[in-house]
Amino acid sequence: MTRVLIAGLGNMGLSHALAHHRHPGAEIVGLVNRSGVVDHPELGHYPAFDDFHTALAETRPDLVVVATYSDSHADFAIAAMRAGAHVFVEKPLATTVSDARQVVTVARETRRKLVIGYILRHHPSWQRLIAEARGLGGPYVFRLNLNQQSSGPEWDTHKSLMQTTSPIVDCGVHYVDVMCQITDAAPVRVHGIGLRLSDEIAEDMYNYGQFQVTFSDGSVGWYEAGWGPMMSETAFFVKDIISPNGSVSISDADKGASADVDGHTRVGGILVHRPAGDTLIDMPGEPGHQELCDAEQDFMLRAIAEDIDLTRHMSDAVQSLAICLAADESIRTGCIVTLEETPQ
């Protein structure tokens, strides 16, 4: 039985806690949130803490799930691994590339398993999308976006997230990770633009951004993300991968509202276009948000039990973060950013 400590009980942390609560191979030994109180019908009986380091010392877990705000991810992950625990950390891995590399270095030094919360890696439809795109052969054009017309509680959540992370970093790492899995090539340079569209967020933050990235094999990618009540619901979910031999696209237009978290991962159908004709691949019975979190945590537990090699997983996480942070730097400076090759 794996003893699990969960830090952070927001949207993702709560889902990860429920995944371990229901998993036969896991035992929750503590939950950490700012109030130190857990008001949930399934989780309220577990020990609750308002301080991460106290919880880590008192519970001595085998696995720590870090689902706090981004600025604490690296520190909490490193502390957990140095205390002997394996770590699952929500994306982004850190708020700087150097911190992300340090987390990976500590994982290697301590021989602890480190899994980053790239939920699309556990979705069968997205796995099929990546496989179909790779089957076409590159170089590729990636056209990806996820805009969210958020209001009420969803807008409050986005404003909280933007205290530390912009939309193109918070959401972008998922889709840049998809680009990297398809091309395998190293990113070369990034150019971003963005705009602050609300006076409800800090003056040095923007709630709309887009960027272009060029890879060493000639592939090029575009990603766009915007949050807030002003965002358009039109074309808020575009997922196209184009190559000299055809294209692969998510074709299901029934995504619901742009703020619907289940719609962000739902594929429904994959359209594979080749000059000789089109093929529509139906993807019925797709997992919802909680089922994907269940799959993530099951993979985490298997990585520990089966000693799964996570070398590529960790290097991909650093690379996708480096691209998104370069885009953020480009937006803030107005300059194109040249990227260094990510160490393996």
Q: In the beta sheet, which residues pair with residue 210?
A: 193, 224
Nearest to 104 by CA among 339, 323, 321: 321
Specify the pLDDT at position 78: 98
Contact assessment for residue 27 and residue 62, using Cβ atoms and an 8 Å cutoff: no
Count CB atoms within 10 A of the CB of residue 140.
26
pLDDT tens, residue by residue, 254-264? 545 545 555 54
d(CA 168, CA 160): 15
Topology match between the domains 2-117 and 121-290+322-338:
no
Residue 119 is given by DSSP the state: G
Closest CA to 62 of 41, 44, 80, 76: 80
Q: Give the side-chain half-sphere CA count within 13 A for 122.
A: 19
Q: What is the pTM of this model?
A: 0.89
Q: How many H helices and E strands in the chain?
A: 10, 15
344 residues of the chain, pLDDT tens digit each? 999 999 999 989 999 999 999 999 999 999 999 988 898 999 999 999 999 999 999 999 999 999 998 899 999 999 999 999 999 999 999 999 999 999 999 999 999 999 999 999 999 989 999 999 999 999 999 999 999 999 999 999 999 989 988 999 988 999 999 999 999 999 999 999 999 999 999 999 999 999 999 999 999 999 999 999 999 998 888 999 999 999 999 986 454 554 555 554 556 789 999 999 999 998 887 888 999 999 999 999 999 999 999 999 999 999 999 999 999 999 999 999 999 765 44
Query: What are the tens digits of pLDDT across the range 10-29?
Result: 989 999 999 999 999 999 99
- Termini Cα distance of the chain: 32
* Secondary-structure percent of the chain, ordered helix, strand, coil, rounded to 5: 40, 25, 35
Q: Give the domain 2-117 fold.
A: Rossmann fold (3.40.50)
Backbone angles phi, psi at 108, to 5 degrees: -70, -40
Cβ neighbours for 158, distance < 8 A, ≥ 6 positions apart: 148, 150, 167, 207, 227, 228
Cα 255 to Cα 258: distance, rounded to the nearest angstrom: 7
Q: Where are the domains of the chain?
A: 2-117, 121-290+322-338
- CA quadruple 312, 314, 317, 321: dihedral sign: negative
Q: Write the pLDDT tens digit of every residue in 267-285.
A: 678 999 999 999 999 888 7
CATH number of 121-290+322-338: 3.30.360.10
Nearest to 20 by CA among 55, 61, 51: 61
